[in-house]
Structure 1
Amino acid sequence: MYFEHTDKVKELEEKLNEFMEEEIYPNEKTYKEQLNEGGNRWKAPQIMEELKTKAKKQGLWNLFLPNSEYGAGLTNLEYAPLAEIMGRSSIASEVFNCSAPDTGNMEVLVRFGSEDQRKKWLIPLLNGEIRSVYSMTEPEVGSSDATNISTTIVREGDEYVINGRKWFSSGANDPRCKIAIVMGKSNFEGSKHKQHSQILVPLDTTGVNVKRYIPVLGYDDAPHGHAEIEYNNVRVPASNLLLGEGRGFEISQGRLGPGRIHHCMRTIGMAERALDLMIERVKNRVTFGKLLVDQGVIRQWIADSRMEIEQARLLTLKTAYMIDKVGGKNARKEISMIKVIGSQMVSKVVDRAIQSFGAAGVSDDTPLAYMYARARALRLGDGPDEVHCEVVARLELKGK
């Protein structure tokens, strides 16, 4: 494995860092102010659309997509340092059309969608004209075991009828969100991993009811949000089915592998920014007659954070390399390992940064409190840590 960045990636890194310094960081406050204007947070701040236009003009667009016909044609390994840079700001990924769940949904459409499905939904997503939702998790079953998913997708003539209730369908609250990929049970016999399908459901279809947004540790994540959705006798054309009946798990594995590692890439950037903030703080804060940076415990926090970030980065790069070389299915142990390590690492680094700021760390005067909420949620998103540890242990015991 050779992790030296190519000249193409180095050039993109330079452009991306320059864009972050000139456009993203200075406009984080503007984004928040515009979001809060008028008492309605469920709207797209104008600054976001302005930044997206600038990013697109500079060629900093769809960098996540390995498919060169639709995206930048970068490998996962090449994309890793770029996603890390984006991860330093909560608004950055969307600016470059590289934010979840759209990235995973676009990959699904590229890999598994029909020509008509790609024309109708992929192209507007690639252009940043609309947003999308991945509707999988359910409130009434333990969805960490996805075979429990009970929403039904039943064929009736030339249509499929969808019934069920989903939650944490991230993005459905956004007024720009137009399409959902819904996972449900279409077959009721045979192998439990061949009973589920995935289907495209426009959110304006009769019977689709976005009931509420669900705060995460007190944050609404507007205008994105995490929705509870009721699908009540929702009818869509049979042509909206992705890939074929009973192939839902096949699609999920193709989607979640890259999706999980993208999260891990971004956690590195989040942790780096938290560490930068901590170092800046402790160099300028005096307690008990000396700077915080001269306290032994603070120096230990800095050292631990740097070591943990570097370890997580190396495993992220190895995992990206493995996905590129042998595919997500054959890199599932590495994917599960970095999913656990990345989310736990960033939780610890952000926690130390909050502690170094004292009361300010848990306020909204810094990005740390929101980082902490996001980091904690990542230990559940795309599968809880315990499930991924079970995958690692099972594969290790098999000698794989």
Structure 2
Amino acid sequence: MSALVWTAVGSLAAWLWLLLGQGFFWRTDMRLPPRREPDDWPSVCVVVPARDEAAVLPDSLPSLLAQDYPGRAEIFLVDDGSSDGTGELARELSRLHGGLPLTVGSPGEPPAGWTGKLWAVRHGIGLARARAPEYLLLTDADIAHAPDSLRELVAAARAGGFDLVSQMARLRVESVWERLVVPAFVYFFAQLYPFRWIAVKGSRTSAAAGGCVLLRTEAAERARIPDAVRHAVIDDVAVARAVKGSGGHIWLGLAEHVDSVRPYPRLHDLWRMVSRSAYAQLRHNPLVLAGTVAGLAVVYLVPPVALCVGLAVGNSAAAVAGGLAWLLMTVTYLPMLRYYRQPLWIAPSLPVTAFLYLLMTVDSAVQHYRGRGAAWKGRTYSRPDTHPDAAPEQS
């Protein structure tokens, strides 16, 4: 058998494993269960880190102010050194819309060893501590919540006994590039962190979606959040690892009524979103990068190549193996496209999107070694181990 056939068969075997052995990652039915309201509603403080978010705040903050929550709830928006009037706009929106009480704070520049977002979260949690809340809702400034979002999260946490409940907000899919890249982003994330495995106590798989994380205050203190993960660029995954590593029970699923309002109209915008943290996800390890590139090529690029080359040269074994692998890839992508309400004919284009992600990952490494890695809104973060006081991430 030729090398092409062996590679195509290897890709097909990988897809059979992904279909059946990777936590059924491709299914999109991990949603919050039907609400079972508790007898008493615990107090909640909402912490919103915000840096230069004036463009999206009018579409997101009013949804938090309007939360229909039976218990005591309060919002703490932390203006992380914005230059666009984010803090004042937040106060004006609060005056205009009313609703939940809003406090706007500012922590100043983060010290060495801290990312800006986690420094802002630390400040927000510090402000909230005076209210002694039972839960903290950590949510990003570009996330819009349905009026009963907080009720749903708290009810799920109480009913399931979860210390952390996170929903992956539905990202915007309006431009051509968003339609091509965004559903695949969530698909790849679920493949890397199968949601069903995350919810299993004692499993090694841990992840959260930073845009919407309800965290029991006691669990946050036990896991030393955010101090224990203060250097993390991929902060949501780091927080989930810390909580689960300290004995917490966590849950992650797809959202029905939690949406990101941030637009990514151009490929450049999406490229920056992925590449700023892709190499950090690989722990800045060139060997892991090489393995990831090879894996992406074998799993996503080989099937269409094997099919086309096999048909062109009359190698039926390569064509069949490649075609079946491509078919399995396409079938597993369909549920995510349905979730994002996208046309199903996009599914066979997943190898093209995977190739873009491969290039974004390589670019992330290149930018890192040029000293421009993990750059976001005017700040660039170095590797965690360059700070002598940085705590190691849990695995």
TM tier, shorter chain? under 0.3
- TM-score w.r.t. length of structure 2: 0.27
- TM-score w.r.t. length of structure 1: 0.26
Higher relative contact order (CA 8 A, sep 6+): 2
